[in-house]
Protein backbone atom coordinates (compact mmCIF):
# COMPACT_ATOMS: atom_id res chain seq x y z
CA UNK A 1 0.00 0.00 0.00
CA UNK A 2 1.17 3.54 -0.78
CA UNK A 3 0.44 6.05 1.97
CA UNK A 4 0.97 9.81 1.90
CA UNK A 5 1.02 11.45 5.34
CA UNK A 6 0.20 15.09 6.08
CA UNK A 7 0.72 16.53 9.56
CA UNK A 8 2.66 19.16 11.45
CA UNK A 9 2.64 19.28 15.32
CA UNK A 10 3.67 16.80 17.99
CA UNK A 11 0.13 15.39 18.12
CA UNK A 12 0.59 13.93 14.62
CA UNK A 13 3.90 12.14 15.32
CA UNK A 14 2.46 8.92 16.85
CA UNK A 15 0.15 8.61 13.84
CA UNK A 16 3.09 8.99 11.45
CA UNK A 17 4.92 6.25 13.31
CA UNK A 18 1.86 3.99 13.07
CA UNK A 19 1.44 4.66 9.34
CA UNK A 20 5.15 4.12 8.64
CA UNK A 21 5.55 0.82 10.50
CA UNK A 22 5.64 -1.20 7.28
CA UNK A 23 7.58 1.25 5.16
CA UNK A 24 4.47 2.22 3.19
CA UNK A 25 4.65 6.02 3.66
CA UNK A 26 6.02 7.30 0.34
CA UNK A 27 6.01 11.00 1.27
CA UNK A 28 5.22 13.35 4.14
CA UNK A 29 3.60 16.76 3.78
CA UNK A 30 4.08 19.29 6.55
CA UNK A 31 3.92 23.04 7.07
CA UNK A 32 6.94 25.09 5.94
CA UNK A 33 9.62 25.67 8.58
CA UNK A 34 8.67 28.57 10.84
CA UNK A 35 10.72 30.98 13.01
CA UNK A 36 10.91 29.78 16.61
CA UNK A 37 12.92 30.26 19.78
CA UNK A 38 14.84 33.28 20.97
CA UNK A 39 16.90 33.45 17.80
CA UNK A 40 13.76 33.17 15.63
CA UNK A 41 15.59 30.73 13.39
CA UNK A 42 13.62 28.57 10.96
CA UNK A 43 12.59 25.41 12.78
CA UNK A 44 11.24 22.19 11.22
CA UNK A 45 7.96 20.79 12.51
CA UNK A 46 7.93 17.72 14.78
CA UNK A 47 6.48 15.71 11.87
CA UNK A 48 9.29 16.79 9.55
CA UNK A 49 11.89 15.77 12.14
CA UNK A 50 10.30 12.32 12.46
CA UNK A 51 10.06 11.89 8.69
CA UNK A 52 13.72 12.80 8.17
CA UNK A 53 14.75 10.34 10.88
CA UNK A 54 12.90 7.65 8.94
CA UNK A 55 14.31 8.70 5.58
CA UNK A 56 10.88 9.64 4.19
CA UNK A 57 10.79 12.40 1.53
CA UNK A 58 9.28 15.66 2.86
CA UNK A 59 7.22 18.19 0.88
CA UNK A 60 6.32 21.61 2.31
CA UNK A 61 4.11 23.60 -0.07
CA UNK A 62 2.48 26.78 1.28
CA UNK A 63 -0.82 25.45 -0.13
CA UNK A 64 -2.25 23.35 -2.94
CA UNK A 65 -3.47 26.21 -5.13
CA UNK A 66 -0.74 25.76 -7.74
CA UNK A 67 -1.13 23.05 -10.35
CA UNK A 68 2.43 21.91 -9.69
CA UNK A 69 1.53 21.05 -6.08
CA UNK A 70 -1.41 18.91 -7.14
CA UNK A 71 0.64 17.25 -9.87
CA UNK A 72 3.33 16.37 -7.32
CA UNK A 73 0.73 14.70 -5.09
CA UNK A 74 -0.82 12.90 -8.06
CA UNK A 75 2.61 11.55 -9.07
CA UNK A 76 2.91 9.77 -5.71
CA UNK A 77 0.04 7.45 -6.73
CA UNK A 78 -1.20 7.19 -3.16
CA UNK A 79 -3.81 4.66 -2.10
CA UNK A 80 -4.73 6.91 0.83
CA UNK A 81 -3.61 10.23 2.28
CA UNK A 82 -3.62 10.39 6.08
CA UNK A 83 -4.10 13.91 7.47
CA UNK A 84 -3.44 14.68 11.15
CA UNK A 85 -3.39 18.31 12.33
CA UNK A 86 -1.79 19.39 9.06
CA UNK A 87 -2.85 23.03 9.32
CA UNK A 88 -4.19 23.46 5.79
CA UNK A 89 -7.74 23.11 4.49
CA UNK A 90 -7.53 20.77 1.51
CA UNK A 91 -9.71 21.56 -1.53
CA UNK A 92 -11.89 18.88 -3.05
CA UNK A 93 -9.51 18.63 -6.01
CA UNK A 94 -6.84 17.38 -3.57
CA UNK A 95 -9.17 15.13 -1.56
CA UNK A 96 -10.06 13.29 -4.76
CA UNK A 97 -6.48 12.44 -5.78
CA UNK A 98 -5.69 9.36 -3.59
CA UNK A 99 -7.48 6.17 -4.61
CA UNK A 100 -9.33 5.92 -1.26
CA UNK A 101 -9.40 9.65 -0.64
CA UNK A 102 -8.06 11.38 2.48
CA UNK A 103 -8.46 10.11 6.03
CA UNK A 104 -8.31 12.48 9.00
CA UNK A 105 -7.54 11.61 12.61
CA UNK A 106 -9.53 14.05 14.76
CA UNK A 107 -9.30 14.35 18.55
CA UNK A 108 -12.99 14.37 19.50
CA UNK A 109 -16.15 12.31 19.18
CA UNK A 110 -17.65 13.99 16.15
CA UNK A 111 -19.82 15.94 15.59
CA UNK A 112 -18.87 17.40 18.99
CA UNK A 113 -15.87 19.72 18.82
CA UNK A 114 -15.20 20.14 15.15
CA UNK A 115 -12.39 22.58 14.54
CA UNK A 116 -8.94 23.58 15.74
CA UNK A 117 -8.83 22.98 19.52
CA UNK A 118 -11.06 20.00 20.39
CA UNK A 119 -8.91 18.74 23.27
CA UNK A 120 -8.87 21.99 25.23
CA UNK A 121 -12.49 22.89 24.49
CA UNK A 122 -13.69 19.52 25.78
CA UNK A 123 -11.98 20.11 29.13
CA UNK A 124 -13.06 23.76 29.27
CA UNK A 125 -16.69 22.72 28.76
CA UNK A 126 -16.49 20.17 31.58
CA UNK A 127 -16.89 17.13 29.31
CA UNK A 128 -16.22 13.82 31.03
CA UNK A 129 -15.71 11.84 27.81
CA UNK A 130 -13.93 12.40 24.53
CA UNK A 131 -12.08 10.28 22.01
CA UNK A 132 -10.72 10.00 18.50
CA UNK A 133 -12.45 9.65 15.15
CA UNK A 134 -10.96 8.41 11.90
CA UNK A 135 -12.92 10.41 9.33
CA UNK A 136 -13.26 10.33 5.56
CA UNK A 137 -12.46 13.91 4.64
CA UNK A 138 -14.76 16.10 2.58
CA UNK A 139 -14.81 19.79 1.78
CA UNK A 140 -16.50 20.98 5.00
CA UNK A 141 -14.72 21.54 8.32
CA UNK A 142 -14.62 18.11 10.00
CA UNK A 143 -17.99 17.22 8.47
CA UNK A 144 -17.03 13.96 6.79
CA UNK A 145 -18.40 10.52 7.68
CA UNK A 146 -16.69 8.61 10.50
CA UNK A 147 -14.87 5.38 9.63
CA UNK A 148 -13.76 4.30 13.10
CA UNK A 149 -13.85 5.83 16.58
CA UNK A 150 -12.67 5.15 20.12
CA UNK A 151 -13.76 6.91 23.30
CA UNK A 152 -11.96 7.57 26.59
CA UNK A 153 -12.86 9.16 29.92
CA UNK A 154 -11.42 12.57 30.78
CA UNK A 155 -9.81 12.51 34.22
CA UNK A 156 -11.21 14.89 36.83
CA UNK A 157 -7.82 16.61 37.21
CA UNK A 158 -6.51 15.99 33.68
CA UNK A 159 -4.86 18.92 31.91
CA UNK A 160 -4.92 19.81 28.25
CA UNK A 161 -1.35 18.58 27.89
CA UNK A 162 -2.04 15.24 29.53
CA UNK A 163 -5.17 14.60 27.47
CA UNK A 164 -3.30 15.68 24.31
CA UNK A 165 -0.71 12.96 24.86
CA UNK A 166 -3.28 10.25 25.54
CA UNK A 167 -5.34 11.16 22.49
CA UNK A 168 -2.25 11.27 20.27
CA UNK A 169 -1.52 7.64 21.16
CA UNK A 170 -5.18 6.66 20.84
CA UNK A 171 -5.27 8.31 17.41
CA UNK A 172 -2.31 6.21 16.31
CA UNK A 173 -4.13 3.06 17.46
CA UNK A 174 -7.35 3.95 15.61
CA UNK A 175 -5.39 4.82 12.46
CA UNK A 176 -3.47 1.55 12.64
CA UNK A 177 -6.80 -0.31 12.87
CA UNK A 178 -8.15 1.50 9.82
CA UNK A 179 -5.04 0.90 7.73
CA UNK A 180 -5.06 -2.75 8.79
CA UNK A 181 -8.58 -3.14 7.43
CA UNK A 182 -7.62 -1.45 4.18
CA UNK A 183 -4.62 -3.75 3.75
CA UNK A 184 -6.97 -6.71 4.19
CA UNK A 185 -9.19 -5.39 1.43
CA UNK A 186 -11.89 -4.24 3.86
CA UNK A 187 -12.82 -0.59 3.48
CA UNK A 188 -14.25 0.82 6.75
CA UNK A 189 -17.91 1.71 6.30
CA UNK A 190 -18.43 5.51 6.43
CA UNK A 191 -21.04 6.52 9.02
CA UNK A 192 -22.52 9.99 8.39
CA UNK A 193 -22.28 12.33 11.36
CA UNK A 194 -25.59 13.10 13.09
CA UNK A 195 -26.97 16.57 12.49
CA UNK A 196 -27.60 17.12 16.18
CA UNK A 197 -24.86 17.80 18.71
CA UNK A 198 -22.55 19.85 16.49
CA UNK A 199 -20.15 22.12 18.41
CA UNK A 200 -17.08 24.04 17.23
CA UNK A 201 -13.72 24.13 18.98
CA UNK A 202 -12.41 27.54 18.06
CA UNK A 203 -8.66 28.14 18.00
CA UNK A 204 -7.10 29.06 21.33
CA UNK A 205 -6.28 32.71 21.90
CA UNK A 206 -3.95 34.08 24.59
CA UNK A 207 -6.54 36.76 25.34
CA UNK A 208 -8.81 34.00 26.75
CA UNK A 209 -6.24 33.05 29.38
CA UNK A 210 -7.15 35.82 31.85
CA UNK A 211 -9.37 34.46 34.61
CA UNK A 212 -12.56 36.43 35.22
CA UNK A 213 -13.45 36.07 38.89
CA UNK A 214 -17.11 36.87 38.21
CA UNK A 215 -17.44 33.48 36.52
CA UNK A 216 -18.31 30.30 38.48
CA UNK A 217 -15.36 28.61 40.19
CA UNK A 218 -16.00 25.34 38.37
CA UNK A 219 -15.76 27.07 34.98
CA UNK A 220 -12.49 28.69 36.00
CA UNK A 221 -11.05 25.39 37.27
CA UNK A 222 -11.89 23.78 33.93
CA UNK A 223 -10.20 26.64 32.09
CA UNK A 224 -7.06 26.27 34.21
CA UNK A 225 -6.88 22.58 33.29
CA UNK A 226 -7.71 23.13 29.63
CA UNK A 227 -5.14 25.89 29.11
CA UNK A 228 -2.25 23.99 30.69
CA UNK A 229 0.39 23.99 29.14
CA UNK A 230 -0.75 26.69 26.66
CA UNK A 231 -1.75 29.46 26.78
CA UNK A 232 -1.78 28.97 30.59
CA UNK A 233 -4.38 30.73 32.73
CA UNK A 234 -3.43 34.12 34.17
CA UNK A 235 -4.87 36.00 37.13
CA UNK A 236 -4.39 38.90 39.50
CA UNK A 237 -3.95 37.61 43.04
CA UNK A 238 -3.47 40.22 45.76
CA UNK A 239 -2.22 42.74 43.23
CA UNK A 240 0.28 40.35 41.66
CA UNK A 241 -0.03 38.96 38.16
CA UNK A 242 0.57 35.21 38.12
CA UNK A 243 0.07 32.20 35.90
CA UNK A 244 -2.17 29.53 37.35
CA UNK A 245 -0.97 25.99 36.70
CA UNK A 246 -3.31 24.11 39.01
CA UNK A 247 -6.57 24.93 40.79
CA UNK A 248 -9.77 23.27 41.98
CA UNK A 249 -13.31 24.51 42.53
CA UNK A 250 -14.58 24.51 46.11
CA UNK A 251 -18.34 24.55 46.66
CA UNK A 252 -18.47 27.13 49.42
CA UNK A 253 -20.83 30.02 49.97
CA UNK A 254 -19.40 33.48 50.57
CA UNK A 255 -20.60 37.06 50.52
CA UNK A 256 -17.37 38.53 49.21
CA UNK A 257 -16.82 40.39 45.97
CA UNK A 258 -15.38 38.28 43.13
CA UNK A 259 -11.58 38.35 43.27
CA UNK A 260 -11.38 38.69 47.05
CA UNK A 261 -8.73 36.56 48.77
CA UNK A 262 -10.69 34.54 51.35
CA UNK A 263 -8.11 32.14 52.79
CA UNK A 264 -4.47 31.28 52.15
CA UNK A 265 -2.61 28.29 53.53
CA UNK A 266 -0.72 25.13 52.61
CA UNK A 267 -3.75 23.69 50.79
CA UNK A 268 -3.98 26.68 48.48
CA UNK A 269 -5.12 30.24 48.00
CA UNK A 270 -8.92 30.60 48.02
CA UNK A 271 -10.35 33.31 45.76
CA UNK A 272 -14.01 34.34 45.74
CA UNK A 273 -15.75 33.75 42.42
CA UNK A 274 -19.16 34.62 41.04
CA UNK A 275 -20.27 31.23 42.33
CA UNK A 276 -18.12 29.21 44.69
CA UNK A 277 -14.41 29.49 45.42
CA UNK A 278 -11.35 28.77 43.31
CA UNK A 279 -8.50 27.22 45.29
CA UNK A 280 -5.21 27.99 43.51
CA UNK A 281 -2.70 25.24 44.29
CA UNK A 282 0.14 25.73 41.78
CA UNK A 283 1.13 29.10 40.36
CA UNK A 284 3.98 30.97 38.71
CA UNK A 285 5.21 34.47 39.48
CA UNK A 286 6.49 36.65 36.65
CA UNK A 287 9.98 35.53 35.67
CA UNK A 288 9.81 32.50 37.98
CA UNK A 289 8.93 28.83 37.79
CA UNK A 290 5.80 26.96 38.81
CA UNK A 291 5.60 26.59 42.61
CA UNK A 292 3.06 25.36 45.15
CA UNK A 293 0.81 27.78 46.96
CA UNK A 294 2.72 26.99 50.17
CA UNK A 295 6.02 28.09 48.58
CA UNK A 296 4.35 31.20 47.17
CA UNK A 297 3.08 32.14 50.63
CA UNK A 298 6.55 31.73 52.11
CA UNK A 299 7.53 34.71 49.96
CA UNK A 300 4.26 36.54 50.61
CA UNK A 301 3.69 36.23 54.35
CA UNK A 302 1.34 39.20 54.11
CA UNK A 303 -1.21 37.02 52.28
CA UNK A 304 -1.69 34.41 54.95
CA UNK A 305 -5.36 34.51 55.87
CA UNK A 306 -6.81 32.00 58.33
Residues comprising the binding site for (6S)-5,6,7,8-tetrahydrofolate? 108-111
Cβ atoms within 10 Å, residue 138: 17
- What is d(CA 105, CA 13) in angstroms, rounded to the nearest whole number? 12
According to DSSP, the β-strands at 3-7 and 80-84 are parallel
Measured on CA atoms in the order 227, 229, 231, 232, is the torsion positive or negative? positive
Annotated binding site: 108-111
* Contact yes or no for 87/115 (Cβ under 8 A): no
DSSP H helices, the chain, are 13-19, 46-53, 67-75, 92-95, 118-124, 160-183, 217-226, 293-299
* Contact yes or no for 219/123 (Cβ under 8 A): no
* Contact yes or no for 157/202 (Cβ under 8 A): no
User: Phi, psi (5° rounding) for residue 51?
Assistant: -65, -45
CA 45 to chain centre: 16
Residue 87's region, left for phi above 0, alpha for psi from -120 to 50, else beta, is left
**Could you give the 3-state DSSP secondary structure of residue 148?**
strand
Q: Is the peptide bond before 231 cis (omega within 30 degrees of 0)?
A: yes
Give the HSE-up count for residue 137: Cα atoms under 13 Å, Cβ half-sphere: 28
- What is d(CA 121, CA 261) in angstroms, rounded to the nearest whole number? 28
- What is d(CA 16, CA 10) in angstroms, rounded to the nearest whole number? 10
Amino acid sequence: MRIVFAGTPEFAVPCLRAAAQRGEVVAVYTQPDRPAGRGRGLTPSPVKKEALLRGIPVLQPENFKAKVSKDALRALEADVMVVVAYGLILPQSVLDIPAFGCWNVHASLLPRWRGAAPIQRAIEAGDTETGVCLMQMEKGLDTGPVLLSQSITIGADETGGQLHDRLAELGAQVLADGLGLLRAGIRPVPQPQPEEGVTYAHKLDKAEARLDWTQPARALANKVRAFNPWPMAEAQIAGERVRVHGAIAVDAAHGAAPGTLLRAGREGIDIACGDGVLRVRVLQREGGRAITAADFLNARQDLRVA
